[in-house]
C-alpha cells in the first residue's frame, strides 16, 4: 500500500513540475518592453512617444541609427514614416515571435497616424523559421542517444571517440535534413553546428560516465523544458521564466546563434558559451578514467569476488 501511494504521489509531482517548466512558459507569454525603433518627423515623433506603453519600448531615432539597431538585433522592427506613407522594416535574423509582435505594433502606430503602411522584409520560409530550434534539439538528441547506448552496451575506453563521432554524424544528418527542407547554409553556420554538437556530446558523455543511466534524469529534463524557452524572445516571457530558465539554457544560445548565421549575421558570445561547455564536458570525460566498462545502473564492478562478501566463506572447507 505504501509503495502504491508513493508512486502515485511521485507521478503527480513530476507531472506538475514538467507542466510548470514546459507548458507554463507558453501559457504565461505576454509582451513587455519589446524594443522597437521609429523614424519620423518631429510632430509625428511626439505622437509616437505618447503611444509608448509597458508592452513596448519605442525609440525615436534617425534613419541610419535605426538600420544599425535592426542589423544588430537590438530592436525587433523599424517603422520609417514619411509624407507618402510608412514602411516597416524587419530582420529575418530576429526571432519570428519578436518580429510578429513588432509588425503588429508598428502597423497600429502607422494606422493611428493615418498613413498607408507596407512591410519590407526578406522572405522567410517555414523551414527557415523552424531550423534553428529544430537543429538544436536534434543535436542534443544525437549526443544523448549515443551516450545512453554507450552505457547500456557497456562500452569500454572509447567514450570520447563515441561522443565525437556521434557529434560529427549527427551534424551530417541534421544538415542533410534541413537542406532537404530547403534551408541554405553558410560555412559559418555549419561550423557553428559542429561546435554545438561537440559541446553537447562531450557534456552528455561526461555526465553518463559519472552518473551512468541516471544522467538521463538531468539530460531528459533539460530536453523537455529548454526548447519551450529557447523558442521565445525574452520580452515575451514571464520574468520568472526569463531569469530561471531562459538566461542560462544552452538551447537559447544555439538557436539564436544559428538563426543569426543563417541570415548572414554575426555572433560572438555563442562561440564562447559552447567552447566553455565543451571544456567542462572534456574534463568530466577525462577525469578519473575507468578501466572497466560502465554498467547501465551506474554501478562499477570493482572486481571483488562474491565469496569475499560472505564472512568466513573462504574458510569453509571439508576435512
* Residue 33 binned pLDDT confidence (cut-offs 50, 70, 90): confident
pLDDT the model gives residue 257: 92
* Residue 28 binned pLDDT confidence (cut-offs 50, 70, 90): confident
Say if residue 22's pLDDT is above 70. Answer: yes
Q: Name, in order, each residue with C-beta under 8 angstroms of 227's C-beta and a sequence gap of 6 or more.
A: 133, 136, 137, 251
* Percent of the chain's residues with pLDDT above 70: 89
Q: Which residues of 195-221 are buried (b: 16+ CB within 10 A; e: fewer)?
A: bbbbbbbbbbbbbbbebbbebbeebee
More confident residue, 39 or 21: 39
The CATH number for 73's domain is 3.40.190
- pLDDT tens for residues 51-101? 667 788 888 888 889 889 988 889 998 988 887 788 898 888 888 888 888
Closest among 255, 248, 239, 251 to 25, alpha carbons compared: 239
**Which of 2-11, 109-118, 186-195 has the weakest average pLDDT?**
109-118
* Residue 7 binned pLDDT confidence (cut-offs 50, 70, 90): confident
Say if 97 falls within a structural domain. Answer: yes
3-state per-residue secondary structure call for 262-298? HCCCCCCHHHHHHHHHHHHHHHHHHCCCCCCCCCCCC
Euclidean distance between CA atoms 24 and 29, whole angstroms: 9
More confident residue, 310 or 113: 113
Regarding whether 188 and 52 lie in a shared domain, the answer is: no
Question: Domain limits at 165?
Answer: 126-286
pLDDT the model gives residue 318: 45
- Per the listing, cell 542560462 goes with 248
Which one of 3-17, 138-152, 222-236 scores highest in mean pLDDT?
Answer: 138-152
Regarding whether 134 and 107 lie in a shared domain, the answer is: no
* Residue 140 binned pLDDT confidence (cut-offs 50, 70, 90): very high
Regarding whether 218 and 266 lie in a shared domain, the answer is: yes
Say if 167 falls within a structural domain. Answer: yes
Q: What is the largest CA-CA distance in the chain?
A: 113
Q: What is the grid cell recorded at 283?
A: 574534463
Cβ–Cβ < 8 Å for 274, 199: yes
- Count of the separate structural domains present in the chain: 2
Rounded to the nearest 10 degrees, what angle do helices 159-181 and 187-211 cross at? 140
- pLDDT tens for residues 143-195? 999 999 999 888 778 888 999 999 999 999 999 999 999 998 888 999 999 99
Regarding whether 134 and 277 lie in a shared domain, the answer is: yes
Regarding whether 78 and 133 lie in a shared domain, the answer is: no
- pLDDT tens for residues 240-282? 888 888 888 889 899 999 999 988 888 889 999 999 999 999 9
pLDDT the model gives residue 146: 92
Regarding whether 150 and 116 lie in a shared domain, the answer is: no
Calculate mean pLDDT across residues 305-310.
46
Euclidean distance between CA atoms 244 and 173, whole angstroms: 32
Regarding whether 257 and 192 lie in a shared domain, the answer is: yes
Regarding whether 161 and 76 lie in a shared domain, the answer is: no
pLDDT the model gives residue 294: 54
Regarding whether 131 and 269 lie in a shared domain, the answer is: yes
Regarding whether 172 and 93 lie in a shared domain, the answer is: no
Q: Is 27 helix (H, G, I), strand (E, B) or coil?
A: helix
Average pLDDT of the chain is 83
Neighbours of 315 (CB within 10 A): 6
Euclidean distance between CA atoms 31 and 144, whole angstroms: 34
Regarding whether 282 and 159 lie in a shared domain, the answer is: yes
Question: Strand 78-82 to strand 85-89: parallel, antiparallel, or no bridges (unpaired)?
Answer: antiparallel
Which of 95, 120, 145 represents a domain boundary (last residue)? Answer: 120
Find the angle CA(237)-CA(248)-CA(166) to the nearest 5 degrees. Answer: 120
Euclidean distance between CA atoms 121 and 124, whole angstroms: 9
Regarding whether 272 and 206 lie in a shared domain, the answer is: yes
Say if 27 falls within a structural domain. Answer: no
Amino acid at each position: 500500500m505504501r509503495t502504491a501511494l508513493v508512486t502515485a504521489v511521485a507521478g503527480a509531482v513530476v507531472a506538475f513540475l514538467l507542466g510548470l517548466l514546459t507548458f507554463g512558459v507558453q501559457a504565461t507569454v505576454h509582451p513587455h518592453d519589446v524594443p522597437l525603433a521609429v523614424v519620423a518627423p518631429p510632430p509625428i515623433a511626439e505622437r509616437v512617444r505618447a503611444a509608448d506603453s509597458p508592452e513596448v519600448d519605442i525609440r525615436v531615432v534617425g534613419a541610419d541609427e535605426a538600420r544599425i539597431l535592426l542589423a544588430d538585433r537590438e530592436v525587433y522592427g523599424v517603422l520609417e514614416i514619411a509624407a507618402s506613407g510608412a514602411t516597416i522594416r524587419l530582420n529575418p535574423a530576429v526571432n519570428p515571435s519578436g518580429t510578429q509582435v513588432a509588425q503588429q505594433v508598428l502597423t497600429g502606430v502607422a494606422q493611428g497616424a493615418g498613413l498607408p503602411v507596407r512591410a519590407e522584409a526578406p522572405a522567410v520560409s517555414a523551414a527557415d523559421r523552424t531550423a534553428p530550434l529544430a537543429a538544436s534539439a536534434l543535436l542534443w538528441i544525437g549526443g544523448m542517444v549515443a551516450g545512453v547506448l554507450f552505457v547500456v552496451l557497456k562500452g569500454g575506453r572509447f567514450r570520447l571517440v563515441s561522443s565525437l563521432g556521434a557529434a560529427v554524424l549527427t551534424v551530417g544528418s541534421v544538415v542533410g535534413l534541413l537542406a532537404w527542407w530547403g534551408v541554405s547554409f553558410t560555412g559559418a553556420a555549419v561550423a557553428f553546428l559542429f561546435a554545438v554538437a561537440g559541446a553537447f556530446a562531450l557534456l552528455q558523455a561526461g555526465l553518463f560516465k559519472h552518473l551512468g543511466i541516471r544522467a538521463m534524469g538531468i539530460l531528459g529534463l533539460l530536453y523537455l523544458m529548454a526548447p519551450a524557452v529557447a523558442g521565445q524572445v525574452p520580452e515575451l516571457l514571464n520574468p520568472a521564466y526569463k531569469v530561471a530558465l531562459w538566461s542560462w539554457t544552452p538551447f537559447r544560445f544555439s538557436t539564436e546563434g544559428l538563426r543569426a548565421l543563417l541570415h548572414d549575421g554575426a555572433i560572438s558570445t555563442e562561440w564562447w558559451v559552447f567552447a566553455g561547455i565543451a571544456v567542462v564536458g572534456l574534463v568530466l570525460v577525462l577525469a578519473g578514467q575507468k578501466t572497466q566498462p560502465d554498467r547501465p545502473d551506474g554501478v562499477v564492478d570493482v572486481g571483488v569476488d562474491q565469496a569475499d562478501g560472505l564472512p568466513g566463506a573462504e574458510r569453509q572447507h571439508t576435512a
